[in-house]
Amino acid sequence: MKKITQCFILVFCSLSIAFPTNQLTTNGQAIVNQTGDTIRLIGFGVGGWLQPEGYMWQIEQRAEKNDSLAALAPSQIRHKIEILVGKEKSDTFFREYEKNFFTEKDVQLLKAWGTNSIRLPINANRLMPPELQPAKAPYMYKESEFAIIDSVVAWCEKNQMYLILDMHCSPGGQTSDHIADPIQYNVAGLWDFPEVYWDQTKELWDTLSMRYKGREWVAGYELINEPSGTRGGEFDDADSAITQLTMDLCEIISVNDPDHLIFIQGYEWATRFEPMVSSTKGHNRVYTFHLYWEDDIGGSDVIKNVSNQGKVYNVPFYCGETGENTTEWGEQMVKELNSRKYGWNWWTVKKVDDQESCPFSIPMTSGFSKIVDWLANAGAKPDSTEAVASLMEFARSVTSDSLKENGELLKVLELTYQVSIKGNAVKNSEKKNFFTVTGSSIQFSPATYGKKVAIISASGKIVATHTADNKKWTPTVGAGLYFVKIGSSYAGVLKNI
């Protein structure tokens, strides 16, 4: 048994807080709520859920080794799996995969880790399927896809987590790279065919901002993820087009929903911001930078650029993506961002066969490995019957309950562990302790005596039980993060290291 070294307790009672106390706005270089408290958005992106990217399944890594063209974009992956097992069985697989990959329990878990926000990547191809679109508006939408977003909004509201709606894959593709799910390889449709895809993008954001206005826990709208150039991935002459479309989208959203934040990314994979900031600054604008693979993090050009731009224009900057590196690198990155008081979002929460850069690694089974080889054009086509079984096995394996938590990464991310009880927060001076921790023992307060106590793992499993009394209790648990439930309410969290 190891020592219980930390315990952070957050207790709630029923208070009446008028809407929209938690809705966010900007104040100079800060993001604040309606009572003026500064809110640093700290969280994770849900990459790989609604648009699995090739590298998240290890497809790209295997394709690169074999120098072959592979199914890397989300639509390519889905299409090739349809070829492998047929559309009906492919649809069944993806329904099971998406049902298990991210649920309300994951929202609760991310909150328990100490985060306050979630970045939800959205794929326009799912909301408005390209094959259904007429030449001009009004465009065709798929309501069942909006319903998925509705569910996440509801989960975040219930658990008081901010949600950023991230247009990760814009209509046509905002880059020719597979992460944007572009219309075809080496084509960034959003910039190469603006006469088609700008109107679609504008109407989509018009629809989204009307649908989610007034939703307190929606932090805001992230307009275009990593807008990066024209045909072939070139950046030349792209700035003016990216700036103009961003300005148009800001105007649409500001009319529909002036109360939510608008997250604006810079050029070249969200690393450069002039003249974007000077052209678009205004009410509730937040500028989002991405930071990867920098050796000298504090001295990086990106950090210097956003620090200077924030001061010059008195606007807030937010690190919307970082990660994809070693645990040691992540520790230095988070220390730098925290020291500069930037909010940040870690990319991403789960990937296949990645034991270091994300909190959960999905195991690569032998059957799914054969499918990945085929998707990468690096192996023979599997038998369709065996492939169906392997796909369904994989789809059932992606639940957080079944995955081992990367405790080392969570430790270096410097998260403050906490659990919320239903209701609204009391002032700090009014907090009550349901229990205290001394060494490896728990001492309960008199108010809990006679109530059932459960120690619950991050995956939701009860690992120890007790009836609270006036005696110290020393539960035997392994290293990790645990919820403490007293009666029917969560009372706090133990971190055992």
Task: Write the pLDDT tens digit of every residue in 286-299.
Answer: 999 999 988 888 88
User: pTM to 2 decimals?
Assistant: 0.83
Going 159 to 214 to 425 to 43, the CA torsion angle's sign is positive
Spell out the domain ranges in the chain. Answer: 4-9+427-496, 22-412
Burial letters for 28-64: b for 16+ Cβ neighbours within 10 Å, e otherwise?
Answer: ebbbebbeeeebebbbbbbbbbbbbbbbbbbbbbbbe
Mean pLDDT value of segment 21-29: 94
Burial class (CB in 10 A: 0-12, 13-18, 19+), 301: exposed
Q: How confident is the model at residue 447 (pLDDT cuts 50, 70, 90)?
A: confident
What fold is seen in the domain 22-412? TIM Barrel (3.20.20)
The residue among 385, 370, 375 whose CA lies nearest residue 80 is 375
| CA geometry: angle 102, 103, 109, nearest 5 deg | 90
The residue among 344, 64, 320, 98 whose CA lies nearest residue 178 is 64
For the domain spanning 4-9+427-496, the CATH number is 2.60.40
For 19, 37, 260, 401, the CA distances from 14, given in Å and listed in that order, are: 15, 21, 26, 31
pLDDT recorded at residue 495: 60
Q: Are strands 162-169 and 218-222 parallel, antiparallel or unpaired?
A: parallel
Q: What are phi and psi of 153, to 5 degrees?
A: -60, -45
Q: How confident is the model at residue 64 (pLDDT cuts 50, 70, 90)?
A: confident
**For tokens 């050009």, what's the residue?**
301
pLDDT digits (tens, 9 = 90+) for 205-262: 999 999 999 999 999 999 999 998 654 445 456 889 999 999 999 999 999 999 999 9
For 152, 242, 249, 263, the CA distances from 258, given in Å and listed in that order, are: 22, 22, 12, 13
pLDDT exceeds cutoff 80 at 450: yes
Strand ranges, E, within 215-282: 218-222, 261-265
pLDDT recorded at residue 408: 86
In the three-class reduction of DSSP (H, G, I as helix; E, B as strand; rest coil), residue 280 is classed as: helix
Compute the mean pLDDT over every residue in the chain, rounded to the nearest whole number: 87
